[in-house]
Structure 1
Amino acid sequence: MGFPDQIVRTVELAHPPAAVWTALTTAEGLGTWFGHAAAIDLRPGGAAQMTWKNGHKADMRIERVEKPSVFGFTWPIHGLPDDDPRRTYVEFTLEPVDAGTRLTMVESGFAQLPADDYREAFDGNTDGWANELGELVEYLNAA
């Protein structure tokens, strides 16, 4: 039996796609709701980095930019050593709806891990996305 490979979360946001796009794809947005500071070169192949106050950082590679509907990146897998080359792929899809925007986040690539590493990474990111998407809602509502 294999492991689930994806974490999928969908959030209905009472904000237009343009506002959600800006929150997802700018250093100001990412550095406010997702991390504590961010830098981003918004183009396929571009680099992005987020840092947190606890000293943790994540180096990301931008993979997909289809303004204003799809933004994707790869990043290190939670719990693995910094020099481990394996990554997961995170993709945000924005869909206009009457009330604002339906945001779907899919993180995939967990099935490449052995059981011990899988459980830590999958569980950690499942909890993490619940928190982070809640912070995105708060960030957008405060704007």
Structure 2
Amino acid sequence: MHVLDRIERKVLLNASRKQVWEALTDAEQFGNWFGIALKGKTFAPGQSIEAQITYPGYEHVVWKAKIERVLPHTLFSFWWHPYAVEEGVDYDSETPTLVEFTLEDRAPGILLRVVESGFDAVPEARRQKAFKMNSRGWDEQMSNIETYLGQARRA
């Protein structure tokens, strides 16, 4: 496997499996911490979903994903085009990458792992940039879900 083909991040979340699962798979909750306007939307396997990104600096971007698998309280995955942020570029002809979230019990909480794979299929002209930007992005998103769940506990 090529080194630049996958990004893997993990975070130990001090929350219940149910809380982590809902933060991932309840579309509105996911949108809250991920930075996407998903109010009123739901995630279902095989379904494509589009919504406005609310993350500062990327509000012009529409998030597009195709939900792949939802294995209750264990795995949630979707396909998307990494760092598909340039206006006027049609990314739909590209092969998407697969984003997989898995949950494991790890005292005192839940180990959340995210793996984004398939960068080898991203056009070479933008592969490195997409990999670099998403590597940073996943660092930030792992921190975002941790903060989100921490606030949910205190609420």
Q: Same fold (TM over 0.5)?
A: yes
SS at 1:37's partner residue?
Answer: coil
Are 1:18 and 2:38 matched, yes or no?
no
Mapped contact 1:31–1:50 kept (Cα < 8 A): no
Q: Which runs of 5+ in 1 are unaligned?
A: none
Mapped contact 2:65–2:80 kept (Cα < 8 A): yes
Structure 1 residue 7, shift from structure 2 partner: 0.1
Aligned match for 2:93, one of 80, 84, 94: 84
Structure 1 residue 98, shift from structure 2 partner: 1.7
**Cα displacement string for residues 97-117 of structure 1 (whole angstroms, at most 9, x for unaligned residues):** 221100010000101134431
Indicate the residue corresponding to 2:48 in structure 1: 47
SS at 2:112's partner residue?
Answer: strand
Task: Give the alignment's TM-score, normalised by structure 2.
Answer: 0.83
Aligned match for 2:142, one of 117, 122, 133: 133
Indicate the residue corresponding to 2:61 in structure 1: 56
Mapped contact 1:77–1:86 kept (Cα < 8 A): no
Task: Give the alignment's TM-score, normalised by structure 1.
Answer: 0.90
Aligned pair count reads 143
Indicate the residue corresponding to 1:65 in structure 2: 70
Q: Which runs of 5+ in 2 are unaligned?
A: none
Indicate the residue corresponding to 2:4 in structure 1: 4
**Cα displacement string for residues 39-86 of structure 1 (whole angstroms, at most 9, x for unaligned residues):** 644332022334223221211111011001100000113247333332
Between stretches 123-132 and 29-38, larger displacement belongs to 29-38
Mapped contact 2:76–2:101 kept (Cα < 8 A): yes
Mapped contact 2:94–2:122 kept (Cα < 8 A): no
The structure with the largest strand share of the pair is 1
What root-mean-square deviation, in Å, do the aligned CA atoms of Structure 1 and Structure 2 show? 2.0
Mapped contact 2:45–2:69 kept (Cα < 8 A): yes
